[in-house]
């Protein structure tokens, strides 16, 4: 009976359903450590941010065009928005990318670990160079600018 139930649940789950990892205290440092010696792009977005939603499909296209690029999308909505976030990731074609979501209701603490000066403005993209230095970019990111940065940061 358990096997039948499991099979039915698996059949009911949408193919390629979005998976969200928790973004907790220490997550940004862990992402940087995982990418040590390679460039990393971390993009922060929210459901209530119209520019964020407008550019999400562009991140999927950029990832396809640059398969060696390490790209992480981080949603900043509160944890109870997870079902809506997953639906949006599917709708925007970015569900297959690495996706994290703020898991702490005290979002200021998480933002502070990314950048003590960050007050929550979105969209925000952090570029982590091969040497670990980070540059935060507020506002919509322009693909030519990102591709130029990637050329200065060849993947390992």
pLDDT digits (tens, 9 = 90+) for 38-51: 899 999 999 999 99
Q: What is the pLDDT of residues 91-142, one digit of tens each?
A: 999 999 999 999 998 999 999 999 999 999 999 999 999 989 999 999 998 8
The domains located in the chain, with CATH, are 15-152 (3.40.30.10)
What is d(CA 156, CA 138) in angstroms, rounded to the nearest whole number?
Answer: 27
What angle in degrees, to the nearest 10, is found between the helix axes of 50-65 and 82-91? 50
Please write down the long-range contacts of 6-10, taking CB distance under 8 Å and 24 or more positions apart: none
What is d(CA 16, CA 89) in angstroms, rounded to the nearest whole number?
Answer: 11
Evaluate if residue 70 carries a pLDDT over 70: yes
């Amino acid at each position: 009976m358990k096997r039948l139930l499991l099979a039915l649940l698996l059949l009911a789950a949408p193919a390629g359903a979005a998976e969200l990892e928790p973004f907790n205290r220490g997550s940004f440092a862990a992402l940087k450590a995982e990418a040590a010696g390679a460039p990393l792009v971390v993009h922060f977005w929210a459901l209530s941010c119209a520019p964020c939603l407008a550019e999400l499909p562009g991140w999927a296209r950029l990832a396809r065009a640059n398969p060696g690029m390490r790209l992480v999308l981080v949603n900043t909505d509160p944890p109870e928005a997870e079902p809506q976030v997953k639906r949006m990731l599917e709708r925007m074609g970015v569900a297959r990318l690495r996706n994290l979501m703020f898991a702490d209701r005290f979002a200021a603490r998480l933002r502070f670990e990314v950048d003590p000066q960050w007050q929550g403005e979105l969209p925000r993209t952090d570029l982590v160079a091969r040497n670990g230095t980070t540059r935060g970019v507020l506002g919509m990111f322009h693909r030519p600018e990102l591709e130029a940065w990637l050329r200065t940061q060849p993947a390992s």
